[in-house]
Amino acid sequence: MEERNGSNFNEFDFDREEEEQKRKRQEQRINRQKERRRHQLWRLAAGIFAAACVCILAGAFAATRLGDKEKAPIQQEDSGAGQTQEQGEQPAEAGQSGDQPGETGEGEADELAQAGNVSDVQAEVIEDPDELQGEDDTAAGTASDMSGSGPDTRPVFDGDIAALDNTLQNWGQGVQFDDWMRPTAAVAAQEKYSKYSADFVRTETEDKIIYLTFDEGYENGYTEKILDVLKEKKCPAVFFVTQPYVEQEPELVRRMIDEGHIVGNHSVNHPSAGVASLPRQEQEEELLGLHDYVKENFGYEMSLFRYPAGKFSEQSLAIVQSIGYTSVFWSFAHADWDPANQPDEAASLQKLMNRLHPGAIYLLHAVSATNTNILGQFIDQARAAGYEFRPYR
């Protein structure tokens, strides 16, 4: 009887200890979410403040230039010993006013300031791509700031996440296109799911912009060459990594960060049934486990997530958003993931070029020999067609 009572006591004690551990894990997860949200709000506030400062400086500079122009005829009159300009005649210094093609006028300065590309609104337009990218050795032209892609400024869904549709969907961009060669499925998905900080194609721009992304489930010997090409071409990219990849290839991950690329979250375990098939707590752990590992070992804050195999649900999108992540899908992908069955290089390059469209999100698998071998040609040809590769912001 005493043994049985002792056994019951031990079982009760064990259950109580297990409940205590669960409670602590829950508190830690909540604290991480709160900390991440605070960081997002601080970054957003800093970004708004910086943009306001740039706009104020741009306005002040424009006003100064306007004042200089208004004074110019008076100064000319004074220096001309009583001579006045005839109607339609230009001031003597008009050709040096900065309004001629190739120089930065007020309109160009304002556009550059709004784009965040100048720290001084009096900066000159740089036409040399090497000068534009800077003199460092990073692929994106700027060293990583350890903050990933920065905060997503879209409002966070504040409804009942548990009430959202949890039907598992398999994403694919399809083969129907609009007049700009954007996949119509991607445009429709962007309109439907953007409220959950999800990107299928970047519809906020009509400019010829490409966002280049790579999935890294495991290393197949090509990532170093891919990084070499990106560095040579000064082309930024996002690398979506799993935790086994990060643990096994820390030097490559460090190089991605140091050379100005963005490292994205591809989940801890890359579950074959899809992250969205898991209970909410396990979904969060799939992201936060890798997030915390990368932050602890690399000092890097990830903020972009790609669903393994593109399997998602509306409810899962809201869960991912709630822990501070942007879900990044794609508007172009091809059959490149099987190392033993690689597509033809010439045909693949032609397909990559034929599918160019504004705001494109290109998904390439880094295990692909074909992708590795045609990457440099694709970057060159896309740029020749007027496209720009931009960091994912």
Active site residues: 215, 365
Same domain, 118 and 176: no
- Render pLDDT for 2-28 as a digit per residue (tens, 0 to 9): 444 444 445 445 456 656 655 665 665
Tell me: do 51 and 167 sit in the same domain: no
pLDDT at residue 62 tops 80: no
Q: Is residue 137 part of a domain?
A: no
Same domain, 322 and 213: yes
- Does residue 109 sit in the same domain as residue 193? no
Average pLDDT over residues 62-74: 43
* Same domain (yes/no): 173, 95: no
Q: Which of 367, 359, 377 lies closest to 335, judged by CA?
A: 367
Given a contact cutoff of 8 angstroms between Cβ atoms, the answer to whether 327 and 240 are in contact is no
Question: Which of 139-153, 175-189, 314-328 has the least mean pLDDT?
Answer: 139-153
Given a contact cutoff of 8 angstroms between Cβ atoms, the answer to whether 318 and 154 are in contact is: no
Note whether residue 13 is domain-resident: yes
DSSP track, 349-363:
HHHHHHT--TTEEEE
Residue range of the domain that includes 66: 1-125
Given this model, what pLDDT does residue 153 score?
A: 84
Burial (Cβ within 10 Å: 0-12, 13-18, ≥19) of residue 2: exposed
- How does residue 263 score in pLDDT terms, banded at 50, 70 and 90? very high
Q: Provide the CB-side half-sphere exposure for 252 (13 A, CA).
A: 23
Q: Which of 65, 97, 125 marks a domain boundary? A: 125
Give the position of tokens 């609009």: 178
* 75 has pLDDT over 50: no
Instruction: State how many domains the chain has.
Output: 2
Does residue 250 lie in a domain region? yes
Is 150 among the domain residues?
no
141-150, 178-187, 335-344, 362-371: which has the minimum mean pLDDT? Answer: 141-150
List the CATH number of the domain containing 334: 3.20.20.370
Q: Residue 364 — φ and ψ, nearest 5°?
A: -125, 140
Q: Which range (86-100, 276-290, 301-315) has the least confidence?
A: 86-100
Q: Which residue is associated with the tokens 């400086």?
A: 57
Task: Determine, yes or no, domain membership for 145.
Answer: no
Q: Are 283 and 256 in contact (CB under 8 A)?
A: no
pLDDT band (50, 70, 90) for residue 120: very low
Could you tell me if 182 and 326 lie in one domain?
yes
* 200 lies in the same domain as 88: no
Q: Please, what's the largest Cα pairwise distance for the chain? A: 121
